[in-house]
Amino acid sequence: MAAPLPLLKTSLLAGTVGVITGAGSGIGAAAVRCFAAAGAKAIYASDIVDRNLQAVADGVAQEGYESEVVGVKTDVTKAEQVEALVRKVIAEHGRLDWFFANAGIVDFEVLNTTTPEALTRMLDVNVVGAFNSVQWAARGMMNPSDAKPSPGGSIIVTTSLAATFGGMGAPAYTISKHATVGLVRAAATNLGMAGTGIRVNGVGPGPTATAIGQNNMRGASPAAMAAMMERAQHAAADPAVMSAVAPPEYIAQAAVFLASDMAAGINGENIIADKGLRQKPDPFSGLMFNPSIEPL
């Protein structure tokens, strides 16, 4: 795995308190660093497996960021656990300003080998887990206290480039990520109609340099595993393909922006962070050779 990108310290989130799910690795772990670099007062780093959370917190301290990082083991598919997490934040800080619902899993099966059980698991984590996060985050953001007398906040959901067309991910994954975009839009509308002052947006990664693939290979069929390994080897040998792979900080920084007041005018949107992958030429585009731009 590549070394973490150096981050610019800002005060975009100074004094704020929030939650990042799926924080033990990948985009979630990068987000803890990025939210800390943006000056967040306290970050609740949540994951279903908590063995890496202390290392994530220690890394923030070692980089000199002053954010308090609290590791909390949470299964986002269990509404009562998400509720407990939000209540913990409110009890300890009296406020919830932002919530990055990042926890998710991937799948590698084609349509014919996707089982109902695998589809259900994908929907449980990627959709029900995100729904539980949005619902309880909104309730926490509406909670008045001396620390935060007025309601409001920002909820960010990790969607995917696979939510924009059918050829990016396996069927179960693609289905689940299309659903997360529906969740973002429906929640933004509902919370707007209720006058909550809460914004809900999605950030959709393209190919990202994380271990999510390896972490979710355990249940893959032999055929899917073999195909995945073959494609990974081909991709690693192709500089043009690898240039499209983003560091996880690129996605995390987009989430920081959406959490901040800089994005006050953005609500119900799905921001794609794919390093421009969608803009690369299609074989039928008519771009038959690489253009060159002459300097002055």
Question: Going by C-beta distance under 8 Å and a sequence separation of 6 or more, which residues neighbour residue 31?
Answer: 20, 23, 100, 102, 248, 251, 252, 255, 256
Give residue-wise pLDDT tens across range 91-139: 999 999 999 999 999 998 999 999 999 999 999 999 999 999 999 999 9
pLDDT reading at 228 higher than 80:
no
The reported pTM is 0.91
Indicate the range of 33-37, 115-119, 211-215, 280-284 predicted with least confidence. Answer: 211-215
Most confidently modeled of 2-11, 111-120, 229-238?
111-120
- Identify whether 173 is a catalytic site residue: yes
The residue-averaged pLDDT of 78-85 equals 98
**Whole-angstrom distance, CA of residue 52 vs CA of residue 293:** 46
CB-based contact 198:152 (threshold 8 Å): yes
Cα–Cα distance measured from residue 28 to residue 215, given in angstroms and rounded to the nearest whole number: 14
pLDDT band at 231 (very low <50, low <70, confident <90, very high): low
DSSP string, the chain: -PPPPP-----TTBT-EEEEESTTSHHHHHHHHHHHHTTBSEEEEEESS-TTHHHHHHHHHHTT---EEEEEE--TTSHHHHHHHHHHHHHHHS---EEEE---------GGG--HHHHHHHHIIIIIHHHHHHHHHHHHHT---SS--S--EEEEEE--GGGS-TTSS-HHHHHHHHHHHHHHHHHHHHHHHTT--EEEEEEEE-SBSSSHHHHT-TT--HHHHHHHHHHHHHHHT-HHHHTTPBPHHHHHHHHHHHHSGGGTT--S-EEEESTTGGGSPPTTSS--S-------
Higher pLDDT, 223 or 190: 190
Phi, psi angle pair for 147, to nearest 5°: -70, -25
Domain ranges of the chain: 17-274
Over residues 253-262, the pLDDT tens digits come to: 999 999 999 9
Question: How would CATH label the architecture of 17-274?
Answer: 3-Layer(aba) Sandwich (3.40)
pLDDT in tens, 40-80: 999 999 999 999 999 999 999 999 999 999 999 999 999 99
138-169 pLDDT per residue, tens: 999 999 999 999 999 999 999 999 999 998 88
* Active-site entry in 44, 65, 173, 250: 173
pLDDT of residue 222: 77
pLDDT, one tens digit per residue, over 91-104 is 999 999 999 999 99
State the chain's mean pLDDT as an integer: 91
164 contact partners, CB below 8 Å, separation of at least 6: 204, 270, 272, 278
Looking at residue 5, its pLDDT comes to 87
